[in-house]
Amino acid sequence: MSEAVAISESEAARVKSHLRVYVMVFVALAVLTVVTVAISYLHLPTALAITVAMVVATVKATLVAGYFMHLLSEEKVILWLLVLCAAFLVFLFALPLGTETGNGPLWPQ
Amino acid sequence: MSEIVIPYRTEPHPLTGVTSGKLGIWLFLASEVMLFGALFSSYVLLRVGAAEGTWPTGVEAGLNVPIGTFNTLVLITSSITMVMSWASLKMGNPGAFKRYMGATIALGMLFLVVKGFEYSGKFHHGIFPATGWPGASDPSTFYGFYFTITGLHALHVFLGILVNIWLLVWGLALYKTEPERFAGRVEISGLYWHFVDLVWIFLFPLLYLL
């Protein structure tokens, strides 16, 4: 037999208090999307354009992960798991630095 | 006959503080971070290593920025409808869950339809994964990268839609007997769905705007 667990009143009230935040996050995401596109029409120098676009994308990703995925109030085990994952990701991105790419194009001239 | 019950489906495990399902989906998402991370890392390598004039911006490659922007807004909207469907269950309103989940599925499908039009537009112009840039036979891996990563992303959207359809059509019956367990399932599907949204948040500027 599996146990039936009803949703408690306090849990329902806790979720209800978050609804406004979800809508605010959604509006922020939509605005930031428009901002990214608008900035791209300014034709900034490549390095600056990449930096700005990635900063805006990171802010958006943080909003999604923090609020929609509840990471801000998540248990420590999940956060440590993601810290470990982030360490591997940094290593992965550092790998290309050790290739010949830094010295010249991949394609033979 | 005894039924084998998987422990910690609805109540958190005393060691981790989370349900088995939630720990499982986060482990899976961590592996997904590495999967997409490998492709993003390849992007950096390929773009930095591309010979002068062989890596187009999205506009130069013929990607449509307004369509890409529209699809980004579609996915973002589907993320809030997803979280609202879960919140509706938690607040004891399965009717609202159905509407929000239905909207999430419809928005996911809309994303794929728009993506499909973008792909078919490219194919009609003779652009395929192996096509070069600026000339079709020039050495550029832009389209190879574009089709690989957007294709993998679209596959993720597709699988998310299937899971959400299952939850809406067949899964909901569980809510009558075990509401917390069903809400947990929707939360897990939502975590996956938000992750897919999150990947697109990085993909869109990289491919369309830079």
Tell me how far apart the alpha carbons of residues A52 and A46 are, in angstroms, rounded to a whole number.
Answer: 10
Using an 8 Å CB-CB cutoff, list chain B residues near A84: 30
Tell me how far apart the alpha carbons of residues A49 and A43 are, in angstroms, rounded to a whole number.
Answer: 8
Any domain includes A30: yes
Cβ–Cβ contact A11 with B under 8 A: yes
Q: Tokens standing for B162?
A: 């299937």
Using an 8 Å CB-CB cutoff, list chain B residues near A98: none
- Domain tally, chain A: 1
Collapse the DSSP code of B110 into the 3-class scheme (helix H, G, I; strand E, B; otherwise coil) and give the result. helix
Q: A2 to chain B: nearest residue by CA?
A: B5
- Dihedral sign for Cα A102, A103, A105, A107, please: negative
Any domain includes A95: no
ipTM score: 0.92
Cβ–Cβ contact B209 with A under 8 A: yes
Any domain includes A109: no
Tell me how far apart the alpha carbons of residues B189 and B136 are, in angstroms, rounded to a whole number.
Answer: 41
Any domain includes A54: yes
What pLDDT, in 10s, does the model give residues B150-167?
999 999 999 999 999 999
pLDDT reported for residue A54: 93
Give the range of the structural domain holding residue A40, as residue numbers without chain letter: 16-75
Q: Do B80 and A25 touch (CB under 8 A)?
A: yes
What backbone torsions phi and psi does residue B132 show, to the nearest 5 degrees?
-90, -175
Domains for chain B: give ranges and CATH numbers. 20-209 (1.20.120.80)
C-alpha torsion angle, residues B90, A13, B17, B167 (rounded to 10): 10
Q: In this model, does residue A109 exceed pLDDT 50?
A: no
Any domain includes A3: no
Q: In this model, does residue A2 exceed pLDDT 50?
A: no
Q: Do B205 and A99 touch (CB under 8 A)?
A: no
Any domain includes A34: yes
Which is more confidently placed, A94 or A61? Answer: A61
Q: In this model, does residue A6 exceed pLDDT 80?
A: no
Q: pTM of the full predicted structure?
A: 0.93
Q: What is the DSSP string of B174-208?
A: HHHH-HHHHHHHHHHHHHHHHHHHHHHHHHHIIII
DSSP A68: I
Instruction: Determine the Cα angle at A70 with ends A66 and A74, to 5°.
Output: 105
Tell me how far apart the alpha carbons of residues B70 and B75 are, in angstroms, rounded to a whole number.
Answer: 9
Residue range A10-31: mean pLDDT, rounded: 95
Which residues fall within 8 angstroms of residue B36, CB to CB, at 6 or more apart? B149, B152, B153, B199
> In one letter, which amino acid is A14?
R
Any domain includes A83: no
Residue-by-residue pLDDT tens, chain B, 210 positions: 578 888 888 889 999 999 999 999 999 999 999 999 999 999 988 888 888 888 999 999 999 999 999 999 999 999 999 999 999 999 999 999 999 999 999 999 999 999 999 999 999 999 999 999 988 888 889 999 999 999 999 999 999 999 999 999 999 999 999 999 999 999 999 999 999 999 999 999 999 998
Any domain includes A4: no
